[in-house]
Structure 1
Amino acid sequence: MKNQLQQQFKQTYNKSATHSFFSPGRVNLIGEHIDYNGGLVMPCAVTFGTYLLVAPNDDNVFRFKSINFPEEGSIEINADHAKQGSLWYNYPTGVISYFLQQNKTLGGLDMLYYGDIPIASGLSSSASIEVVTAFALNQIFDAGFSKLDLVLLSKWVENVFIGLNSGIMDQFSVTFGEQNKALMLNCDTLEYEAVHTNLGEYVLAIINTNKPRKLAESKYNERVEECAEALQALKQELYIKYLCDIDTDTYNKYQHLLTDQTVNNRARHVIEENDRVKLAAEALSGNNLEEFGRLMYASHNSLRDLYEVSGIELDTVVEYAATNPDVIGARMTGAGFGGCAIALVKGSAFDKFSAEVTEYYTNKIGYAPSVYKSLIGNGVSELKQEQYA
């Protein structure tokens, strides 16, 4: 594929690319719907993502082309830029706009993008595009931004330029990701720990339900409000800023303050899930994959029963996984109501797992999922020539 990208660039721009970059997608291994409650998440970079090949031009323009999308675009340097509809190259345009607003000196570039992240799967294709563009500009033009600066500017693109309300986990994990390590991240303070994650004979199976996540935004806002209500109730007797400032034992002592059962359920998920992330870090550090798998199933059950954000599609994937002796753990990942589930599957049994989960899901849901295999990869980087051999 990498050689094909070089050839494609030459065919497109009639010259060779001078630089090549890669930014991964990400999955969250555990810690769902708690980032906005002061909790911990545990994402990791995956081994597929967004490739960017570039070469300078003398025309003082940025040209955007993608193998994935038919739309092509170009923008001038030092011009005011704004979002144009829902075009894919709004993301790199936003990054360039930020650099120019910060008075960074840029030159014209011909740019070719290719992504092997499934679009709209919840694996952060947008963050991958933002970060690979920001990293490339920072390297080529020696802009002096730190890795954390790149995370923050990419989040600015998502929130302000594009206008989507999202947290910082996606940009952080594709920037700071490390091979065979999960990142235990506090999204409020941005403190993190790289947790050694030896999957041994297992691989990460990512199962896209192929269900559009139409309910995710409205239900997300509803859950945020319910958590705020739970926090206010607990503040009657506890001095806390976030739900995740307390652990499960403390919550059990004060849950009587929450008189609404639904709100009680939401708070219980959040607080117990935060405890599960800490236990997961201990399990992974101790090479205890069985315990980590148990925590994955517990997380999914809580998201299904207490937080009510899974749905029949995600439940069907996890339901099948629990019957397969080659699977050690599985759960939904992301906002829910569609999107993806993940499972730890023996590498030698992956093809069999893929075929069987596809058959099981299709028989129950009526259409097929998409199944991908990944390891835990590195964050954004420049690819050297030998990596394209």
Structure 2
Amino acid sequence: MPELSEITNNIEQTFKTKFNSSPDMFYSPGRINLIGEHTDYNNGLVLPAAIDKYIFLAIASREDDEIHIFSQDYQDSYATSLSAIQISNKLWPDYILGVIDQIQKLDKKLRGVNIVFGGNIPQGAGLSSSAAVECATAYAFNSLFNLGFNSLELAKISQKAENEFVGVKCGLMDQFASVFGKENKFIKLDCGSYEHQYIPFDTDQYSLILFDTQVKHSLASSAYNERRQQCEYGVQLIQKHYPEITSLRQATQAMLDEFIKPFDAITYKRCQYIIQEIKRVEDACNDLLESDFRQFGKRMFQTHEGLKNEYEVSCKELDFLVDFVKDYPEVLGARMMGGGFGGCTINLIENKAIDNISNSTAIAYEKAMGKAMKIYPISIVDGTKLLKDARNESK
């Protein structure tokens, strides 16, 4: 992968130039979610996987408590100290600072660090570049300072950084996928218990292709938090009659019909989508285990309809891309992916037709929307890892 080699070499060279030392290097992948959108913060099921788009992080400890961070992609610097961590006015440092903040709250002793990071995860495409930065940071600090966290703890620290420091109330799916990814496997994750099962993506006939609308989700953060509040409100309405229900994972359609529908039509739509989507993940995993890719693809289309009409987090660009490919028999399934209001559609396409369909869709999209569409072929890969240990190399 020459592109990745060039990125890592550039980051390492930048680090040596700026800090006059050799770094340890870590990488963490972005993720896709095949099905199970917005179910994670409802303690539901999701089916993500780590993909071959990465954040690379070069790091070395300092003798003082200062933190010096350089973003290779933004060509921008930020500096603070362990005792003065607060929200930056730039956003990009906050994913790293939030992780450091969480580690310190767990009473772990740290020293200052120098960091250079960058990668090739498209921003705003719904591929969780933020989670990859957080997980790379958590993994790097765990390794550098021998903190003793296990993989689940690292994912939770990264999630908490995004929830409490950055202010996006995401579930654990993104961070879990970044850390626990496994080559050619999807992760069936129970977001209530954190139990997980690897589901093979075992086919040489079909591939997953992302079509990027090039629309950034300007509404995504506020709408994401609003959808989460609506789901929580639905649970509260049910709890008046069933106090033991603590999430939509435990709710039934009958409960929605009786206790939500008469009082709040919007909340009813949101909750109904979630309950249906959790069931779809269960069914979709069975499809994959039986190698029934056509039935699986139908469920992808169903998810998009739910996200468009009931959860209302799609947009005209995403809808155009899904509608356009529906008529191709070689496209088994397509849907919007991620928080919504932009980003990518994920498409399950017969290999022999990928080039033709990708090109036709790109031409039609640019004509209809007046902007170019980007195409990302993806592979399913392993999760967060140490790439290079400069400490051992120097011994």
Q: Report if the CA contact (8 A) 1:6-1:16 is conserved.
A: no
Shifted more, 44-53 versus 13-22: the winner is 13-22
Distance 1:33 1:156 in 2: 17
Supply the AA of the counterpart residue of 2:29.
Answer: P
Q: How does 1:221-300 map to 2 (within 5 A)?
A: 221-228=225-232, 230-231=234-235, 234=238, 240-246=245-251, 251=253, 255=257, 257=259, 258-259=261-262, 261-300=265-304
Q: CA deviation at 1:184?
A: 1.7
TM-score normalised by L of structure 1: 0.88
- Aligned equivalent of 1:162: 166
Q: Distance in 1 between matches of 2:383 and 2:295?
A: 27
**CA–CA separation in structure 2 for the residues paired with 1:75 and 1:323:** 54
Task: Report how many residues are paired.
Answer: 381
Given that 1:45 and 1:178 are in contact with CA atoms closer than 8 Å, whether structure 2 keeps it comes out as yes
Matched, 1:191 2:177: no
Deviations 1:109-143 (A, max 9, x none): 43221211111222111111111011011112211
CA-based RMSD: 2.7
Query: How far is the alpha carbon of 1:355 from its aligned partner?
Result: 1.9
In structure 2, give the amino acid aligned to 1:307. Answer: Y
Q: Residues 328 and 60 of structure 1: is their aligned pair in 2 closer, same or farther, counting only changes over 3 Å?
A: same
Instruction: Provide the secondary structure at the position in 1 that maps to 2:164.
Output: helix
Q: Which runs of 4+ in 1 moved over 6 A?
A: none
Does 2:58 match 1:53? yes
Q: CA deviation at 1:191?
A: 2.3
Quick one: structure 1 residues 188 and 362, their matched pair in 2 at CA, closer, same or farther if it must change by over 3 Å? Answer: same
With the length of structure 2 as denominator, give the TM-score of the two structures.
Answer: 0.86
Counterpart among 371, 374, 378 of residue 374 in structure 1: 378
Query: Among residues 150, 157, 162, which one is paired with 1:153 in the alignment?
Result: 157
| Cα distance change of structure 1 residues 103 and 353 upon mapping to structure 2, 3 Å threshold | same
Out of 101, 119, 123, which is 1:97 matched to? 101
Q: Letter of the aligned partner of 1:171 in structure 2?
A: Q
Aligned to 2:13: 10
22, 25, 31: which is aligned to 2:30?
25
CA contact (8 A) 1:61 1:75 kept: yes
SS in structure 1 of the partner of residue 37 of structure 2: coil
* 2-structure distance, mates of 1:189, 1:324: 39
Map of 1:143 onto structure 2: 147
CA distance in 2, matches of 1:341, 1:13: 39
CA distance in 1, matches of 2:265, 2:105: 49
SS at match of 1:48: strand
Q: Is the 8 A contact 1:31 1:274 kept in 2?
A: yes
CA distance in 1, matches of 2:313, 2:85: 37
2:90 is matched by which residue type in structure 1?
S
Unaligned 5+ residue runs, structure 2?
Answer: 390-395
Q: In the alignment, is the contact (CA less than 8 A) between 2:214 and 2:343 conserved in 1?
A: yes
Distance in 1, matches of 2:120 and 2:138, equals: 19
Q: Please name the residue that 1:72 is paired with.
A: 77
User: Structure 2 counterpart of 1:279, which letter?
Assistant: D
Give the match's secondary structure for 1:30.
coil
Distance 1:232 1:142 in 2: 42
Q: Deviations over 1:235-281 (max 9, x none)?
A: 5766633333245xxx2697255235544433332221111100011
Q: In structure 2, do the counterparts of structure 1 residues 66 and 227 end up closer, same or farther at CA, with 3 Å as the change threshold? A: closer
Deviation of 1:343 (Å): 0.6
- AA in 2 matched with 1:375: S
Percentage of identical aligned residues: 34
Please, which of 319, 326, 334 is the counterpart of residue 322 of structure 1? 326
- How much does 1:58 deviate? 5.1
Are the structure 2 counterparts of residues 364 and 92 from structure 1 closer, same or farther at C-alpha, using a change threshold of 3 Å? same
Superimposed CA distance per residue, residues 23-77 of structure 1 (whole angstroms, 9 cap, x where no aligned partner): 011121111222333321111111102011234555664432222012112344x
CA distance in 2, matches of 1:2, 1:212: 24
- C-alpha change, 1:157 and 1:38, in structure 2 (3 Å) is closer
Give how far 1:295 is off.
Answer: 0.8
Quick one: distance in 1 between partners of 2:226 and 2:147? Answer: 41
> 1:128 aligns to what?
132
Label 1:226 to 1:362 Cα distance change in 2 as closer, same or farther (>3 A): same
| Equivalent residues of 1:10, 1:16 under 8 A apart | no
Using the TM superposition, name which of 220-229 and 342-351 deviates more. Answer: 220-229
Distance 2:265 2:344 in 1: 28
Within 2, Cα distance between the matches of 1:90 and 1:308?
A: 29
Q: Which structure 1 residue ranges, 5 or more long, are not aligned? A: none
Which residue of structure 2 aligns with residue 362 of structure 1?
366
Q: 1:268 to 1:107 in 2, by over 3 A?
A: closer
Relative to structure 2, which stretch is displaced further, 144-153 or 222-231? Answer: 222-231
> Which of 43, 47, 53 in structure 1 is aligned with 2:48?
43
Task: Give the structure 2 partner of residue 345 of structure 1.
Answer: 349
Cα gap change, 1:216/1:54 in structure 2, threshold over 3 Å: closer, same or farther? closer
SS in 2 for 1:152: helix
Q: Which residue, out of 315, 319, 339, partners 1:311? A: 315
